[in-house]
Structure formats: C-alpha cells, structure tokens
Chain A
Amino acid sequence: MDFSFSKEQKKLRQEVRSFLEDELARELWKPACDAWIQAYDPAFTKRVAQRGWIGLTWPKEYGGQERSFIDRLIVTEEMLRYGAPAACHWFADRQIGGSILKYGSEEQKTEFLPKIITGEIYVGLGMSEPEAGSDLASLKTRATEENDCYVVNGQKTWTSGAWFTNYIYLLARTDVDAPKHRGISEFIVPMDLPGISRIPMIDITGTEAWNDVFFDNVRVPKIYMVGEKNKGFYHVLEQLAYERGGMERLMGNYPLFDALIKFAKETNYNGKALSQDTMIRHKLAQLQVEFEVGRLFMYKVAMVMDEGRAPTVEASMSKAYATTFEQHLANTAMEILGPYGSLWAGSKYVPFEGLAAHSYLGSKGYSLQAGSTEILKNIIATRGLGLPAS
C-alpha cells in the first residue's frame, strides 16, 4: 500500500501548476467553473499540446507518452483546480482517443491520435437522442449501408460544443432487425460533411451548453466506422466508464470552493472574519472532508484504469458521489452568501463573478449527464454487488 506520489509525479504536478500560474499571470484566461466543458480556447489547447499533456497515456508510436492514468489524473486535476479552458481537447483526450485505440483500425489510429495529441482534432459526443437518454440502446438514428458509405439520418442531443468541434462521435443503428443492444455501431464523423446541422440549447444558467445535432442523409465513409459493426453498444459502455472516471465532477466547480474559502477568510461579520464563526468553519470543513474522500475515489478509479480494466463500477461510484458533493458545495455557497448568491456575473455587488449562481443552477444537471445517478446506482448494484436485474 502506498498513498504517495512518485518524484516524477510530483514534478509533473508542479510543471502543470507552474504552466497554469504563468497563464493566469499573463491574463490569458479567467478561472471558471465547468471550463473543461464550456470554455473553448484552441490557443490554450495548442499550448497544452506543446507540453505533451494530451494523450499522455497513449502509445508512443502515435505520439503519446505511455504514462499512467494516475499521471493523467494529476494533469487533469490541476487543470480543473485552476478552472482552465480545456474544452477543445477534453473529450478526445478523455474517451474518444482511448476508444479508437482499443477498437479502431490502424488507419484510424494513425489518422486521429496524432492530431488529437497536437490539439487539432476536437470531438463532440453524439450519443443521446430525444427518446434515448438513460435507455441509450433505444436510439433511433439510422446508418444505412450504401456503397462505400453509411447514410446517416436522425437527431442527436445534449452534444456539447457542436459549434466548435470538428468531429462528432456517433452512435447509430446499423441493424434495425436485431435486438436493440445488438444493432448499434460507432462512427467518428467529420462535422463538415454535408447534411449536418445544429440548433443550440441554452441551459438553465443561460449558457449555450449543448446542441441538437441533425443528420440529414449524411454520407459517412465506411472507413469511419469504429470497431466491429453492431457491437457499438458494448464498446460505448466501456467508453462511458472513462467518461465518468475523471475529476470533472468533483472539481468542475473548484474555483467556487476556492473563492468561498477565501471569502470566508476575508469577509468581516460582526467584527470578525466569517471564517471564525464556528458554524461557517464547520460547514466548510465538512465540504473539505467530502472533497478529500471524493479525491480518493478518483485516484482509485485511475488505479483501476492502470490495471488495464474499464472502471465500470468504480467510476459509477465516484461520479455519483462527486455530483452529490458538488450540489452540496453549491448549496453551501448559496447559504453562506445569502441574497448575494443569486447575483449573476456582471451584476453590481456580485461575489466572485457569479460562480455561486452558475454552480447552483448548473449542478442540477451534473447528476443527470454522463449517466444519471439512478443509472449509476443500478450499475453499482448489479455489476458491483451482483444483485439480480430488476
């Protein structure tokens, strides 16, 4: 048993911190909550790529560094701590690259991985549909074989950053007669193919967070099918473990936590610092305890990844846990700030640039996206504990 980081890992963390500190000092961006999914900054992604921090775990032959998932977690943990604008490369680095690596053809690996690593390919997710949320396998988007193409028709939803990504990972039905889980295939689709359009969706915070993406007779070359035909649903289940297995959902609002602690130290209330009030101190200490436990969950997930196993159960647990933490964090921030908590960024009197209001509302979605807490608990119970399917 060893809870320490190696010398190289400590060095890596320090390098990422110094890089981000320097970026902040140069005012290249502002720390923000959920910047990993909402802040698209190609120049930042390029600078991260130059450091070699994208595709860190991938084989050297494709430009990766064959480092561990713990190392990758160190990098992403720091990105999240600083609220850095990493959305361009996040999905490809987290799950799509790994998926291509595991199931893709050699041509796909050579075409996509090096360009993800250099920060040129940004991939969005085309999984959910209006009628296929938690029941993902009931998706209806069709991909019909026609000569050297699959012709895609249908609608995807909740796609983050579709206005920005140059590729979309797509799940589509390739066999309508097979049982629903066994007729789905995976594709990686260039966003500039004719017939793809999108409509932005504004989330509860007023942010253009997602898109409906429409496919109207889109001809996708066959070479872009990832893995075996009709096996896509089984592949994506594994991919989802990687999607859920990071610190996004523990630290996506770290800038708020950080600001809240600072606020408590610096704000005077009845002649003393707010942080001297026992109730406030203990509320913040409670959050810290939950945060620290969550962090241990996350590192455990990375250890499972390093064993070469998809962390299906472990990531379900860590993600369900972490969203509860983040909702607790946002609630506590609102409680401490009172009416100031409701102020939007830009308003007169707004405390820490509206992070609290953003986080409070945004956090309602955390326990839904990337697997609702209910689905995650089903996985923990059936896959983790062997309870019979309901």
Chain B
Amino acid sequence: MNLVLSEEQEMLRKAARDLLEQRCPKSFVKQMEQDDKGYSPELWEEMANLGWIGLVFPEEYSGSGMSFLDLSVLLEEMGRACLPAPFFSTVVLSGLSILDIGSEEQKRQYLPEIASGKAIFSLALIEPALGYEPKAIAVEASPDGNAYVVNGTKLFVPYANIADCLLCVARTSKQEQGITIFLVDAKSPGIKYTALETMAHDKLCEVVFDQVRVPKENILGQLDKGWPEVEKIVKRSNVAKCCEIVGNLQWALEDTVAYAKDRKQFDRPIGSFQILQHYCADIYTYVEGAKLSAYQATWMLSNGFPCDKEIAVAKLWITEASPRIFNLAHQIHGAIGVTQEHDLHFYTTRAKAIELGYDEANLYREMVAKEMGLA
C-alpha cells in the first residue's frame, strides 16, 4: 500500500499545472464563459500535441498507452484550473467508451481522430425525464433499411454545439432494457442544438433529433444490449469527475487558508481565530477524504478490479463533502467571496456542476447497500 505517485505521474502533474497556470488564467476562463464555442481551438491543439488527449489510448490507435490513473492526474489539474475544454466529453465519455465497446474498425476510425485532437465527441444520454434507468430513455431509433432513424430530445449534452460526433443512447426495442448506443455524425441533417444557460457556463446543450438517419454500422456495441454499457460509462465518468473535483476542492482549501492568513480584522489575521481555524480543519478533512476515496476508486478502476463499492463511496463522500467545503470557504472569505471579483465563484459553480453531472445519490447508496448484503 502506498499513496505516492510515480515519477512520471509527478512530472505529468507539474507539466500540466505549469501549462494551465500559463494558458488558462481566470481571465481566459471568464472569456470562455461568454464564448459560443466555450473552448480555445489553439489550446486544444496544444493539448493534443502534448499528448494529453491521446494519453489514455493504446499506441496502435495513435495514443500514448498510459493508464486511467495517469489520466486522473491530468483531470485533477484541469479541475484545479477550471479548464474550459471538451476534454472530459471527448476522452472520458466518448473515447474510453469506444475503446471499451467499439469494434476494431470503429476504434481504428475514431480513436486516432480523438487522440490527435481533430474530432470532438460527446455523449447524449440524459433526457428530460432524468434518471439513470433504461426506462428513462425515450429517444427512439427505428430501423429503416440500412439505417436507423433517431427521434427525440437529449439534455445536458456537454459541448454538443461543437461536437463532430455524438454517442447517442436510444431505445431500439419496447423491452425496457432494449437500449442501443449509436455513433451519430453530429452534423447530420435533423439535429438541432440549443445551448443551455448554466451557472458554471459548462456548455451543456439540448440536442433535438428529428428524423436523423444513422447507418447501421454505427451501432456501438450490441443492438438492444447497450444498457449495461451505459452503466459502465456512467461509473467510469463519475470516477473521472471525482478526480476533476478533487483538483477543484484542493484549490478551494489552499485559497481559503491563504485568505485566512492574509485577511486582518481586529488587528490580527482572521485565521488566528479558533472558529475559523476549525472551519479550515474541517475543509482539510473533507478534502483529504475526497482525495483518498477518489484515488482509491481510480486506482482500482485503472487496474481493472471490481470496484462498485469504492466508486460509490467516492461519489457519495464527495457529493456530501463538496457543498460543506464551499459553505465554509465562503463563510471564511466573507462578502468578497460572493462577488465575481474573487476567483472563488469559479470553483463554487464548477464543483456544483461536477457534482450534479451523472449524479444519482440513491443509485450509489443502493450500490453500497448491495455490497453490504442488505436485501
């Protein structure tokens, strides 16, 4: 047992932190909030050239053949920097899913495009009815000759507005479990995008499919048997989100402690007051718990071990800890923390957005209950 990152992972972390501090200052984050695309193609290309986007894909698909654990180092740094980019949607939601369940042909076609930064991908899963159960999927794909015709509405699809390809989870059978994942050319006729206005400006979109034709060979995985794959995608995505949020929470801790040391009232740093010290100690404890549980789930997933319980523990802990951390961080910052003059709001909004993505606390509680043998 050890919690030490390898030398390579430490180097990767340092390189990522250095680059993002330089290329992703808060002025850039703010600018991207108002930008229609919501990311910088130049920075994206730079990330591709550095091998970040292809990091986790095998070399035969133009990647670097590194592990999910290595990827988590990057995700954490991206969380720390509040990086606005379609990295999560392209690499985690889509690329890893294609690697996991795609045919050899699909992997050869799509993964090099992803690794090189040429194509942006996203996952169209959630629908207006919400819920992570097959019965929540109403978007329908009906066979028509050599194609399927997709109709319906997806919500909260990250960066769909700029995507080249969407993984669309659709109903192909009346059986409740009859779900199939399709690779849909995002520029197909009949697809309409509407950007949603969100508090974290994270470019979540409504995607309406109106008679969209998708060739049969674009089925990802097996016809009617896509739901177990969706569950795997959601679990993996949650681990990745936990890593991202750890970077976010660590920043909040460091920033809040620095503020408490710096800010003076009653002729002394407010961090010398015991109540605020205890708030800081609580934040530190919540963040440590978040890190330990997120790293554990990441390490297990990266090694291919069964880890439903560990994923659930990380997700549930973070979902509870994160709002507490931000309540305390804001309390310590005082009123400046609730303005847009201070950087804290970037983290408050993004942490909440990360928590809410692919969230269903009860689902995870059930996972834990099952592991405990509670019938």
Contacts and interface: CB of A to CB of B under 8 A. Distances in A.
Main secondary structure on A side of the interface with B? helix
A384 B284 CA distance: 9
Interface residues of A, number: 46
Contacts of B6: 1
B293 A292 contact: yes
B293 A2 contact: no
A321 B292 contact: no
B293 A4 contact: no
B281 A384 contact: yes
A233 B40 CA distance: 58
A317 B375 CA distance: 34
A297 B289 contact: yes
A321 B289 contact: yes
B335 interface: no
A25 interface: no
Interface in A49-92: 70
Given A282-B362, A289-B312, A388 B374 contact: no
A150 interface: no
A5 B312 CA distance: 21
A321 B295 CA distance: 19
B295 A261 contact: no
A286 B365 contact: yes
B218 interface: no
B296 interface: yes
A387 interface: yes
A275 B309 CA distance: 18
Interface in A366-390: 374, 376-378, 380-382, 384-390
A48 to B, nearest CB: 23
B1 A285 contact: no
Contact of B257 (A3, A376, A387): A387
Nearest to B303: A4
A278 B374 CA distance: 10
B288 A390 contact: no
Main secondary structure on B side of the interface with A? helix
Contact of A275 (B282, B284, B374): B374
Interface string A20-49: 000000000000000000000000000000
Given A1-B2, A1-B69, A381-B280, A281 B369 contact: yes
Contacts of A1: 2-6, 9, 69, 295, 299
B2 to A, nearest CB: 5
Contact of A289 (B280, B292, B316): B316
Nearest to B297: A3
A171 interface: no
Contacts of B296: 3, 296
B271 A387 contact: yes
Contact of A2 (B271, B299, B310, B373): B299
A114 to B, nearest CB: 29
A127 to B, nearest CB: 23
B357 to A, nearest CB: 20
Nearest to B361: A282
Contacts of B5: 1
A9 B2 CA distance: 14
A2 B4 CA distance: 8
Contacts of B317: 289-290, 293
Contacts of A273: 375
Contacts of A16: none
B1 A275 contact: no
Contacts of A290: 317
A389 B269 CA distance: 10
Interface in A267-304: 273, 275-276, 278, 281-282, 284-286, 288-290, 292-293, 296-297, 299-300, 303
A9 B368 CA distance: 25
Nearest to A281: B369
Contact of B372 (A5, A288, A303): A288
B285 A288 contact: no
Contacts of A381: 271, 277-278, 280-281, 284
B272 A374 contact: no
Contacts of A309: none
Contacts of A293: 289, 292-293, 313, 317
Interface in B299-314: 299-300, 309-310, 312-313
A320 interface: yes
B366 interface: yes
B261 interface: yes
Contacts of B366: 281, 285
B271 A292 contact: no
Contacts of A299: 1
A265 interface: yes
A381 B281 CA distance: 5
B369 A378 contact: no
A36 B368 CA distance: 28
Most buried by B among A285, A297, A317, A390: A285
B243 to A, nearest CB: 12
A198 B272 CA distance: 41
Interface of B: 1-6, 9, 69, 257, 260-261, 268-269, 271-274, 276-278, 280-282, 284-285, 288-289, 292-293, 295-296, 299-300, 309-310, 312-313, 316-317, 362, 365-366, 368-369, 371-375
Please provide the 10 A-B residue pairs with the shortest distance between their CB atoms, ordered closest to farther: A381-B277, A380-B281, A296-B292, A377-B281, A285-B368, A275-B374, A387-B271, A388-B272, A285-B365, A281-B369
25 contacts: A2-B2, A9-B1, A273-B375, A275-B369, A275-B375, A278-B362, A281-B365, A282-B362, A284-B374, A285-B368, A288-B372, A289-B313, A292-B313, A317-B288, A321-B285, A378-B274, A378-B281, A381-B278, A381-B281, A382-B277, A384-B281, A384-B284, A387-B257, A387-B261, A387-B269
